[in-house]
Structure 1
């Protein structure tokens, strides 16, 4: 909770710093706090949802996972339909109209993790057999494919998070290696289909060779990071954010942090993500039941994989992906879904439990889900401990 609040505070400061000057210049004296106000509004919505889910959310998760997944798949499919999906900056990733737009891929990412956790908890032996894993893999590939058609970065986060979840579930490494090889081939094919993706893939190797076109954003990000030094130019003193670096308040906000706060600021930010990773894995280790353990591991992996992919992108270690920095970058749907994920993590940490078990003799088809919730108060909140949940 402390790390999350610190990241939200840092996000509000840096979104304002990265967007205010450019907004004023572009609008000839417009409101420099426009993005800050929106960020705070979305953060408040997400914070309320996080609080509600941390108290009551886990007991509904297993019941509504399948309907949620179906709705998210339909919404993501609608994004691909011309005239329905909203195009912003050349990418069609949104639904809605005007200020009421949202990104279905962020909802689908959350729903796929929930679905994978449910399947792995009900049928733990499927990780040991590729044949039994086919139903889960088919749904995951379909969902990731829908997202990858317009948003390869979010699709990669989904794939990495699901692979981490399979590791937590005990999948043999030889199967994971095969999945990774197949995934690499798919990414290469998708890059070859879309010319702009191929440009990103090739320009990443040497962005300075085409610094005015395909390598422009990567080059400006590296200049911003390099000019910050150890302690930075000072908060609000970035030059790159005004005239040179595109999407400074979203995908490349880490470069502005590096320019204004230096290596020290970036290190503190990464330390906060490290705290979330440590706390999430400890929650997974101490959770009651396979479902709680896997859900904590899956949600933690989803957050950390996104943070790592954005960091590697800004540092020039991987091609541009368009993935926002968790809790820091401006992005309504992403921020709200991340806070909802933190609410589930806190619910598990406070003793929430969902028992998901297969009926005798139903390892391959019939399943039964039995959900009970423990007292939501922390350990030791009642004398004599909590009443044990029965499965």
Structure 2
């Protein structure tokens, strides 16, 4: 009886071990990032359902479908990113698949232009069936982070004559050029393009090699001049409005700059969305109107579940709702930078800082657009907004970060290497005597 009880206990422990392997990210991952990202996704799912009450008035079935879709997206994102990528990602595998992934990404961008669907004036989605769409440009951001990390890690492996900026960062440069043409030019998704460029800039500035210093100084000066031009053109003068106002393909840029300056200028036309976003924020105040009681989600904000979800969060939950988002993003950013500072490898620093930039850029551009502090560009609030592409993409980025955090913790003796699985250990014990006998016979 005692032996049977012991075997049952051992089997139960092994099952728990396997269950952890299926649910949790790689051993040694940062628990703060794991818990915070999961809670933000749950919070986002709840708010997506709340915002869709305005669209699904009187239709419980539609609301249930929205809930199921978002839960499926959340499970898929967690399984692919936090589980699969965090456990299998390493630089050797990434370098082997780098070119294939780039070609697949370029093909997806071309396919978006050829067979893509137009949503809210941007042709950035590919329709899959009647319920799902995929936005390839979102997956370009974690792919760019990976390419930048691989480029930074390959510098010391190259001979001195090849340690030039154009050769070291050739794959990220090609990718940025494609993104400029397809994402910015053809899809008119300037928000995603701006985030992609910011990730590329940070990835280039992080590595500390003498052969790159001249290029890094040049990038800092160029970006500084462009930032000053942006401030002057958007806030101090009407240069951009005059330039783009009468150009068909660029008119929407002028409209969004005008809405940023005065969202009440055309409240029943182009300023309808930003004005109602400000109304929602004002109605929320400190305490909010209460969960599920938003007025603006009933047709006033047509993108309340995606681009303008923060306005609904503040309207219903007030400053507390905004604090959940800010604190969650702050924890993830803090932990990523913490491990980037502890990393000894240049590629780890680039990857972790790239993921941190990914989060911060999305947050600043989304919050700035909703509050009309900057022109609205239509980027989602990561881990919270509705949709599957951005959710899966950001979890892939977090999965890569968690994989490298685990390696950094083992390298710095913060944790010990994980003991082998009981079944693998049993197999190894069986194989040891055989290998010894073969060695003796030889």
The TM-score range, normalised by the shorter chain, is 0.7 to 0.9
Q: Higher Cα Rg: structure 1 or 2?
A: 2
**Matching of residues 331-370 of structure 1 within 5 Å:** 331-351=387-407
Q: 1:364 maps to what in 2?
A: none
Q: RMSD of the TM alignment (CA)?
A: 2.9
Distance 1:37 1:134 in 2: 42
Instruction: State the Cα deviation string for residues 327-375 of structure 1 (Å, max 9, x = none).
Output: 000011110111111111111111169xxxxxxxxxxxxxxxxxxxx79
Counterpart of 2:192 (choices 154, 159, 179) is 154
Q: 2:177 maps to what in 1?
A: 141
Deviation at 1:173, TM superposition (A): 4.4
**Matching of residues 50-129 of structure 1 within 5 Å:** 50-59=82-91, 60-81=93-114, 84-98=115-129, 99-123=131-155
Distance 1:88 1:227 in 2: 29
Is 1:306 matched up with 2:362? yes
Q: Secondary structure at the match of 1:277?
A: helix
Deviation at 1:134, TM superposition (A): 7.6
**Conserved? CA contact 1:220–1:240, under 8 Å:** yes
Q: Secondary structure at the match of 1:92?
A: strand
Q: 2:426 maps to what in 1?
A: none
Deviation at 1:271, TM superposition (A): 1.1
Counterpart of 2:305 (choices 232, 249, 260) is 249
Moved more, 36-45 or 72-81: 72-81
Deviation at 1:286, TM superposition (A): 2.1
Deviation at 1:45, TM superposition (A): 0.7
Counterpart of 2:77 (choices 46, 53, 56) is 46
Distance 2:244 2:178 in 1: 14
Deviation at 1:195, TM superposition (A): 1.8
Extract unaligned runs of 5+ from structure 1.
354-373, 384-391
Deviation at 1:22, TM superposition (A): 1.6
Q: Secondary structure at the match of 2:63?
A: coil
Q: 2:204 maps to what in 1?
A: 166
Distance 1:329 1:382 in 2: 36
**Conserved? CA contact 1:11–1:328, under 8 Å:** yes
TM-score in terms of structure 2 length: 0.74
TM-score in terms of structure 1 length: 0.83
Deviation at 1:34, TM superposition (A): 2.4
Q: Secondary structure at the match of 1:96?
A: strand
Moved more, 336-345 or 61-70: 61-70
Extract unaligned runs of 5+ from structure 2.
1-33, 235-239, 420-442
Is 1:33 matched up with 2:33? no
Q: Secondary structure at the match of 1:213?
A: coil
**Conserved? CA contact 2:382–2:394, under 8 Å:** yes
- Structure with the bigger percentage of helix: 2
Q: 1:319 maps to what in 2?
A: 375
Is 1:220 matched up with 2:276? yes
Q: 2:221 maps to what in 1?
A: 177
**Conserved? CA contact 1:225–1:256, under 8 Å:** yes
Instruction: State the Cα deviation string for residues 107-131 of structure 1 (Å, max 9, x = none).
Output: 12222222222223323799x9766
Instruction: State the Cα deviation string for residues 235-263 of structure 1 (Å, max 9, x = none).
Output: 11100011311200000000000000112
**Conserved? CA contact 2:244–2:251, under 8 Å:** no
Moved more, 290-299 or 50-59: 50-59
Q: 2:429 maps to what in 1?
A: none
Number of corresponding residues: 357
Distance 1:139 1:329 in 2: 26
Instruction: State the Cα deviation string for residues 137-165 of structure 1 (Å, max 9, x = none).
Output: 35423323321121111111111122222
**Conserved? CA contact 1:235–1:261, under 8 Å:** yes
Deviation at 1:289, TM superposition (A): 1.7
